[in-house]
Structure formats: C-alpha cells, structure tokens
Structure 1
Amino acid sequence: MTMENTTAPRHSITGASDSRTPPEINVEPRNLSFDVDAELSTLWHGGDAFKTAFFNALSLQFPEGEHLFIKAVRDYRKQVKDPQLQQHIRGFIGQEGMHSREHARYNDALAQRGYNLDKMNARFHKHMEFVGGFKRSRRLAGTCAAEHYTAVLAHGVLKNPDWMAGASPTMQALWRWHAVEEIEHKSVAFDVYQSQVGLYRMRFVAFWIVTFQFFRFTFLNTCSMLKTEGKFWDLKTWLHGFNFLWGKPGVLRQSLPQFLRYLRRDFHPWQVDDREEVTRWLNNNQRPTEAA
C-alpha cells in the first residue's frame, strides 16, 4: 500500500545531502528497447480509440520535452556541490535520454498509421522553442512542474492495473518501465531547484503555466488522432473517454488531488512514497531484454 508521508525521507532529515531521494532508490538508466511497430499499427489499448489516442498524445510530447528537462537540470549541474545529488543528476539525464529515444521510435511508428505528426509536432515545437528562451531558473521551475505531472501519472500506471487493462503486453511493458524510472528520478529536478533557486512564487506560477500547456497539447493531440480514426464526432467514444478520465477508473479524477499537492509550500515529491510500486515492478521482472 502506498504511504503518504509529511516528513522527508530519513537521510534528508540529517541535512547530509541536498538529494531527498530515498536511499533504496537507484536513479540509473536502463538501456531497454521496445519493438512497438506492430502494436502501434492498431488501437493497441484494447481496441479503444480514446484510450489509445490519450496515451499516444502523451508520447508525442516526450522526446522534445525530455530534451528540455535534461538541459534545464544540466544548466545547474556545475553549481551542485553535493555528490549524491550529482550522482542522481547523472542518472536523471541518462534515464530521460533513454525515454526520449524510445518515444521517438514510438512516435515514428505512429506516423505509419497515418497520423499527421508534422502538424502536431510543429505546434509543440513552436511552444518548446518559446520556453527554451526563458531564463534558466524559469526553465528549471517548469521542469519541476512537468516532472510532477509525469510522476503522478506514473504512480497511477503502476498502482492501478485497470489504467492499462486490455493494452498489449509490449505496450504495458513500455509504459510501466517509463513509469518506474519517472518515479525513481521524480525529485531530482525539484531537489536541484530547491538547492539552487528555491523561490516558491516562481514554482507556483510555473505550475499553472505547465498545467495549461500540458493539458492543452494532450487534448489537441488526442483530438487530432481521433479525427484520423474517424471517431472525433462519435459520442460513444467521448463518453468512454470521459469515463476513463473522470469515472472508472478515473485517471484524472484519481490524480487531481496529487497534482494539487504541488501547491503546498512544504511540498516534496517523496511525500508520496512509491518505493513499494518500484519494488513490485522490479520483483515481477517486467522488463524486456536490454538493448545491445
């Protein structure tokens, strides 16, 4: 059972490290490769157009988004003196690099189904170029907010099997691998921000900007793919989608309280302790063979 702690993990209480990642968590990249071409030529999430489009819409944002996250953390790397946080920064960069690579392959496969990725990618690229021009402190604040969203969704993917029920085994493996690593490094950018910037107001404002843009692009990309599938005007598709997000299992309904925890002044990502979910995944060996 997932525990919610209002105190920091044990070793952070001593002040010995700027990193508050629990000592049991290893922030290390896994060089995994997923052959998803066959699945992505279908409605891989149980034949459901909305569920498939929703997860595909998330994937479209990852390659370029994660490159920006890496840059935002790397911009402060030389200023971080704590060796443990330095080690976690290296792991964060490695994990995000692997995620970017696998989701770039994922998105290439989506193009083969006939989706207009050029249009979808162009509007996201324009936004990312704009964000890339921000001061480094603001980019890091935005990265912290985006990492919070991915960590909360990752928690849900691992804790709630019904989120992925009906999905093909390969796609389940990919999303759960990504979820585990998002949890493992979920506090790295935040710990860098707290140690190097630490402004609550900037973090607060960045959260609302990221919230708007995250849901905007997810919604637009979902709509674009539903149009390609001929399901955009299908009422049944949208009713199923509303139920998936807000009814049962209620992906957004379940996630909303955790999303909003970020607004607390004393917030830290590891106040929600996901170690049990990570350990369960590791023990179940839900991992394909590492890439050569």
Structure 2
Amino acid sequence: MAISTTPSGVSVAPRHLDFDVSQDLKTDWHGNDAFRTAFFNALSLQFPEGEQQFINAVRKYRDRIDDPKLTQEIRGFIGQEALHSREHRAYNEGLKARGYDIDAIDRRFMKHMEWVNRLPASRQLAGTCGAEHYTAVLANAILSHPEWMAGATPKMQQLWRWHAIEETEHKSVAFDVYRHCIGNERLRRVVFLFVTFHFFRFTFLNTCSLLKADGKLWSLRTWLGGLNFLWGRPGVLRHCLPDFMAYLRKGFQPWQQDNRPLLERSLKDLEMNSPTAR
C-alpha cells in the first residue's frame, strides 16, 4: 500500500557537504546587520537538539511502515536531519568561539527538550510534523526570495540554501508516517499550537540573548530594523504567515504547496556553487 506523498522527481537523500563558517561567525555576517544575523543564529541554536528529536520521533514508528518508498524516504530523512544537526553544531561552536554564552542558551532549550522527550510517542511525532511544517515554510520562503539573504556572506548563503533544499525535499516524510500510524487530526492541530508557541518563544529568547551579548538589546534602531525585516518590508514572517496557518486546514498535506520547480532551480544553483564534500 502506497503511503508516501512525496511527488515524483523529488529525492530524499542526504548530501555530505562541509560548511566551514567559523570565520563568517566572527562577524555580523548578514549584511553587517546585528538583528538579521542574530535572528538566523537564533534559529541555528535550536537545530541540533530539535532535529535529533525529530529523528527519534520518526524512528519510533518506522517498523510500522510497509511502503518501500516511504521506508526509503525515512532513511533519507534521518540522514538529512543528522547532517543538519552536525553542521549546526559546528555553526553553534563558532558562536561560542565568538564569546556568546551558548551553554546557558542550550541549558534553557534542553529543559524544554527533556519535557518533549517525556511526552507520549504520538505527541512527539505530532510535534515533529508541526515543527517540520515551520521549517518547510521558511525553507520555501528563503528559496523563493533570495533577496532576503542579500548581503549575507557567500558561505552562509550556501549553508542556508542547502538546509532549505533538504527541508523541502523531506517535508512530508514525518507527516506521512503520522497520518498512517496515528491519523488523529485533532491531535495534529492542537499540538501545532503548542509547537507554534515554543518555536516563536525560543527564537525570540535566543535572539534577545545574542543581541544582549552584542550590546544591542536596547537599541531602538536595531529593533525597528528587525521588526521591518520580519513584519514590514521585506516582512519575512508576514509573507510566511498564511502558509504557516495552512497547517490548521482540514485535510492539509505538505505537498499541497507544490514547489518542485523552485526546488529544481535551487538544486542547480547549489550544484554550481557546492562547497567541499566530506
């Protein structure tokens, strides 16, 4: 029985690439803008533990999948997320080397992750689906609007483009596992509301922690520029909001946003500017 909804032409397979961004992280790498740099760094701080939890949540159910295509995609999903976790651990070590108290930020997030890991397996998988939706929507936005990364260093543009491509490729894998093994629509939507709260909570807290270390936490100019970036022009979150909320629709499925042409163009660009393979 076919369970996978990943469309034809989309391959879920890890790319063993090496992004050494240690030198970039010594600077405000996003156009010398403190807020934009802190915002993306704040996202990175959530990825290593978050993506490991996604892997663990899906693994709990993979033995119940009898669709060979989805089974292969689960292997690809685990490989991709493991490499994302590896690269963002190195990224976060670069932030630590810059002088940020990353250990304190990690302890704050780990308390939350310890709570998540005590939840029933069904809720963990539902949470993974919700979080994967956020990463998929942000990935689509980053790939659709390269101007949002204009001014970022070339290596950082490559890293975030690579991550966005692979998040797009596997955006329905955890969802397909959930739909087959659990299928509780009410649980999916309710857990998404909790995911929404915690995603924005930790992104905001992490951004504040980084700006405080930079001496920019109380800078009105920094925050006005940041609010414009997120909600004005270009308005990253404003543009993403309808796609975020689409998850609450009855019968939602991730590939209802069929962005395969965008994915194909982005893959060609990544291949032309590919960093060193490990």
TM-score by length of 2: 0.98
Structure 1 position 181, deviation (Å): 0.1
* 1:57-136 equivalence runs, <5 A: 57-136=42-121
Structure 1 position 119, deviation (Å): 1.1
The reply on whether 1:155 has 2:140 as its aligned counterpart is yes
Match of 2:181 among 185, 196, 218: 196
SS at match of 1:37: coil
Which consecutive unaligned segments of at least 5 residues does structure 2 have? Answer: none
C-alpha distance in 2 between matches for 1:289 and 1:114: 27
Which residue identity does 2:235 align to in structure 1?
G
Partner of 2:206: 221
Structure 1 position 288, deviation (Å): 1.2
TM-score by length of 1: 0.93
SS at match of 1:182: helix
Partner of 2:223: 238
C-alpha distance in 2 between matches for 1:258 and 1:139: 22
C-alpha distance in 2 between matches for 1:283 and 1:32: 15
C-alpha distance in 2 between matches for 1:211 and 1:116: 25
Match of 2:14 among 7, 21, 29: 29
The reply on whether 1:17 has 2:5 as its aligned counterpart is no
Partner of 1:260: 245
Runs of 4+ in 1 over 3 A off after TM superposition: none
Which residue identity does 1:259 align to in structure 2?
F
The reply on whether 1:287 has 2:266 as its aligned counterpart is no
Q: What RMSD over aligned residues (CA atoms) do the two structures have, in Å?
A: 0.7
Structure 1 position 120, deviation (Å): 0.6
SS at match of 1:104: helix
C-alpha distance in 1 between matches for 2:274 and 2:44: 19
Structure 1 position 289, deviation (Å): 2.3
The reply on whether 1:50 has 2:31 as its aligned counterpart is no
Partner of 2:131: 146
Which consecutive unaligned segments of at least 5 residues does structure 1 have? Answer: 1-15
Partner of 1:6: none
Structure 1 position 287, deviation (Å): 2.1
C-alpha distance in 2 between matches for 1:64 and 1:274: 28
For residues 87-145 of structure 1, the C-alpha deviation after alignment (integer angstroms, 9 at most, x for no partner) is: 10000000000000000000000001111111110010010010001110000000000
C-alpha distance in 1 between matches for 2:92 and 2:82: 15
Structure 1 position 162, deviation (Å): 1.8
Residues paired across the two proteins, number: 276
Partner of 1:4: none
Structure 1 position 155, deviation (Å): 0.3
C-alpha distance in 1 between matches for 2:130 and 2:274: 28
Which residue identity does 2:274 align to in structure 1?
R
Are 1:246 and 1:252, in contact at CA under 8 Å, matched by a contact in 2?
yes
